[in-house]
Every structure is written in C-alpha cells, then in structure tokens.
Amino acid sequence: QVHLVESGGGVVQPGGSLRLSCAASGFNFSSSGMHWVRQAPGKGLQWVAFIRYDANNKYYADSVRGRFTISRDNSKNTLSLQMNNLRAEDTAVYYCSLVALHWGQGTLVIVSS
C-alpha cells in the first residue's frame, strides 16, 4: 500500500527558508517520478516541481524556479523540497505525489511576519 507522509511545514518569516520532506513506502520509490503540488488556503491546486526517478531531470514552476530545489534520496525513500527566499504567496499546504497517482496528506507552510 502506497504511503506518503510529508513533514517540515511551519511558520517562517518572509525571506526565510524551510525544508520539506516526504517519506515514501509501499512502492518502488527509486523507480518512480515524484511531484510537489501546493494549495493556497481556499484556492485550487498548483504544481510546484517534479523530479525523475533517477534525479537526472528536475522541473519547476516559474513561480518557484531559482528559490526552490527538489531532491531525493533513493537510499532512504525520501523526497525533499528546499524552499529559500520564501514569500507570503508561498503560503500553502504542500503535497508530495507519486506521479500524480497517490498523494500524501500534506504539510502546511505559512510565510508571515
């Protein structure tokens, strides 16, 4: 059974940094592409980033490119999202997703002074 558990969310000041993690189990993580998708309060879904199974290709939304970095550790079945220079508009629930088929429960990031 696929299980994705996000962690690392919290409250951070504008300009600050946060690192999200997603612990994966129940499937072959090292053979699977992974997404981060976010949802601002009361808003729709917004794709953030994708990493190929071998980390050789990474893709980002224009709104986060240069500030966010997606990475993975296949030895630990863990997906990460390093978020730097955070802005108020980055406030959202962040979900990790197994090639958009399975989703975690999300972790809330609030950027506020």
Partner 1 sequence: DIVMTQTPLSLSVTPGQPASISCKSSQSLLHSNGRTFLFWYLQKAGQSPQLLIYEVSNRFSGVPERFSGSGSGTDFTLKISRVEAEDVGVYYCMQSIQFPVTFGGGTKVEIK
Minimum CB–partner distance for residue 78 and partner 1 (Å): 19
Footprint (CB under 8 A) of partner 1, residues 80-99:
95
Q: Rule CB under 8 A: is residue 25 a binding residue for partner 1?
A: no
Q: Rule CB under 8 A: is residue 62 a binding residue for partner 1?
A: yes
Q: Rule CB under 8 A: is residue 102 a binding residue for partner 1?
A: yes
Backbone angles phi, psi at 89, to 5 degrees: -75, -5
Backbone angles phi, psi at 100, to 5 degrees: 65, 10
Out of 14, 87, 100, 112, the only residue in the binding site for partner 1 (CB under 8 A) is: 100
User: If binding means CB under 8 A, how many residues of this protein chain bind partner 1?
Assistant: 18
Q: In what order do the strands lie in the sheet with 78-83?
A: 3-7, 18-25, 78-83, 68-73
Q: Rule CB under 8 A: is residue 53 a binding residue for partner 1?
A: no
* CB neighbourhood size of 87 (10 A): 13
Q: Rule CB under 8 A: is residue 27 a binding residue for partner 1?
A: no
* CB neighbourhood size of 92 (10 A): 22
Q: Rule CB under 8 A: is residue 50 a binding residue for partner 1?
A: yes
Report residue 24 CA to chain centroid gap.
12
Residues at the interface with partner 1 (CB under 8 A): 35, 37, 44-47, 50, 59, 61-62, 95, 100-106
